[in-house]
Structure 1
Amino acid sequence: MNILLINHYAGSDYHGMEFRSYYMGREWVNMGHNVTIVGADFSHLRKKNPTVKNDFEEEIIDGITYVWVKTPEYKGNGLGRVKNIATFMYKLRMNYKKLADKYKPDAVIASSTYPLDIYPAHRIAKRSNGKVFFEIHDLWPLTPMEIGGYSEKNPAIVMLQKAEDFAFKNSDKIISILPNADKHIRERGFSTDNYVNVPNGIIISDEKKNPPMESSIERLQELKEQGYFLIGYTGNHSPANSLDTMLDAAKKTKDEKVKYILVGNGNIKDELIEYAKSNNITNVEFLDPVLKDNMENVLKLLDICYIGLRKEKLFMYGVSPNKLFDYMLAARPIIYSIEASNDPVTDANCGISVPAEDSDAVVEAVLKIKNLSDEEKVAMGNNGHKYVLENHTYHGLAEKFLNALK
Structure 2
Amino acid sequence: MAKEWVKLGYEVRIIAADFSHLRRINPQINKDFEEEMIDGIHYHWVHTIKYDGNGIKRALTMFQFVCKLMFHAKKIARKFKPDVVITSSTYPLDTYAGQRISKFSNSKLIHEVHDMWPITPIEIGGMSEKNPFIVILQKAEISFCKNSDYVVSLLPFAKNYLIEKGMEKDKFIHVSNGVSKDEWAESLKIQSEKLKIIKELKDRVDLLICFFGSHTKSYSLDYIIKAVKKFENVGLLFVGNGIYKKELMEMSEDNNNIRFIDPIPKKSIPDLLKYVDVTYIGAVNNTMFRFGISMNKLFDSMMGGKPILYAVNAPNNYIESYCCGISVEAENVKALEAGIEEFLNMSEEDRLKLGNNGKNAIKENFTYESLAYKFSKIF
TM-score, scaled to structure 1: 0.89
- Measure how far apart 1:220 and its partner are: 0.7
- Which whole-Å CA distance do the structure 1 matches of 2:164 and 2:195 have between them? 47
1:240 is matched with 218
Aligned position for 1:316: 290
The more displaced of 124-133 and 263-272 is: 263-272
Correspondence list, 1:77-116, <5 A: 77-116=54-93
Matched residue type, 1:325: F
Q: Residue 166 of structure 1 corresponds to which residue in structure 2?
A: 143
Q: Deviations over 1:183-232 (max 9, x none)?
A: 21133354211111011110113744444625333311221233452111
Tell me the residue number matched to 2:276: 302
Cα separation, 2, equivalents of 1:162 and 1:268: 36
Q: Is the CA contact (8 Å cut-off) linking 1:247 and 1:281 kept in structure 2?
A: no
Q: Once structures 1 and 2 are overlaid, which stretch shifts more, 108-117 or 204-213?
A: 204-213
AA of the residue aligned to 2:15: V
- Report what 1:231 is aligned to: 209
Deviation at 1:260, TM superposition (A): 1.5
SS at the partner of 2:45?
strand
Q: Which ranges of structure 2 fall in alignment gaps of 5 or more residues? A: none
- 1:268 pairs, out of 244, 265, 269, with 244
1: CA distance between counterparts of 2:102 and 2:192?
Answer: 47
Partner residue of 1:11? none
User: CA–CA distance in 2 between the matches of 1:392 and 1:200?
Assistant: 7
Q: Who is 1:10 aligned against?
A: none
Partner SS state of residue 170, structure 2 = coil
- 1-structure distance, mates of 2:54, 2:194: 30
Q: Following the alignment from structure 2 to structure 1, what is the Cα–Cα distance between the partners of residues 141 and 194?
A: 42
Pairwise CA RMSD: 1.7
CA contact (8 A) 2:112 2:153 kept: yes
**1:330 corresponds to:** 304
> Take 1:225 and 1:44, find their aligned partners in 2: how far apart are those partners?
39
CA-CA distance at 1:81 after TM superposition: 2.1
Q: Which whole-Å CA distance do the structure 1 matches of 2:348 and 2:189 have between them?
A: 29
Query: 1:80 deviation in Å?
Result: 3.0
Separation of aligned partners in 2, 1:185 and 1:220 = 45
Q: Which residue of 1 aligns with 2:20?
A: 43
Q: In the aligned structure 2, how far is the partner of 1:42 from the partner of 1:274?
A: 34
Tell me the distance in 1 between the aligned counterparts of 2:64 and 2:248: 35
Task: Please list the CA deviations of residues 353-392 of structure 1 after superposition, one character each: whole Å capped at 9, or x if unmatched.
Answer: 1111111111110110121011101101001111111110
- For 2:336, which of 359, 362, 367 is the aligned residue? 362
1:286 is aligned to 260
For residues 327 and 185 of structure 2, what CA distance do their matches in structure 1 show?
Answer: 33
Aligned residues of 1:236 and 1:264 also touching (Cα < 8 A):
yes
Q: Which runs of 4+ in 1 moved over 4 A?
A: 206-212
Aligned residue for 2:199, secondary structure, equals helix
Aligned partner of 2:5: which letter?
Answer: W
The answer on 1:153 being equivalent to 2:135 is no
Instruction: After TM superposition, give the deviation of residue 282 of structure 1 in Å.
Output: 5.0
How does the TM-score come out when normalised to structure 2?
A: 0.95
Which piece of structure 1 moves more, 114-123 or 75-84? 75-84
Structure 1 equivalent of residue 180 of structure 2: 203
Q: Among all aligned residue pairs of Structure 1 and Structure 2, give the percentage whose two residues are the same amino acid.
A: 44
1:87: Cα distance to partner? 2.2
**Per-residue deviation, residues 45-98 of structure 1 (Å, max 9, x unmatched):** 112211212122101112110111112222222233223323222221221122
Residue of structure 2 equivalent to 1:398? 372
Relative distance call for 1:269 and 1:104 in structure 2 (3 A) is same
Q: Deviations over 1:30-56 (max 9, x none)?
A: 111111011111111112211212122
C-alpha separation in 2, matches of 1:51 and 1:236:
26
The gaps in structure 1 that reach 5 residues or longer are 1-23
Q: Is the Cα–Cα contact under 8 Å of residues 187 and 271 in structure 2 kept in the other structure?
A: no
